[in-house]
Amino acid sequence: MIFLIFTLLVALLVAIFAVQNAAPVAINLFWYVAEVPLVLIILGSALAGALIVFFMAIWREFRLKGTVKAKAKEEAKAKSEPQDHNVPKDMVPSENIHTDREDTTLPPS
């Protein structure tokens, strides 16, 4: 909501600034010269900037969604595969070793 209010305020300021600058200006583009009101240049530039920001935000959103989707797919694949911890066989205890000690007292120091 704050963003919307800020955006409307900026748009209002740009519109006021543009209307106060309605004098015609000469636009030179290579060999073409045109007389255009300054208000159109200001509003057109503001619109072009807003469109650039909008399309960059859309592009970023799609890129982030793709990254999230790839990470979720990677996580699902990792969960579905059997876990191989690459433990050497000589490190794995054999079945005949008992870990329950009957003597739980500490040796005298």
Q: What is the mean pLDDT of each run of 10 residues along the chain (109 residues)?
A: 89 84 89 90 88 95 93 85 66 60 61
Residue ranges per structural domain of the chain: 9-69
Bridge partners (DSSP) of residue 37 are 24
Going from the C-alpha of 5 to that of each of 19, 52, 73, 100, the distances in angstroms are 21, 20, 39, 70
What values do phi and psi take at 83, rounded to 5? -85, 125
CB 21 within 8 A of CB 38: yes
- How far is Cα 109 from Cα 107, in angstroms, rounded to an integer? 6
Report the pLDDT value the prediction gives residue 75, as an integer from 0 to 100: 87
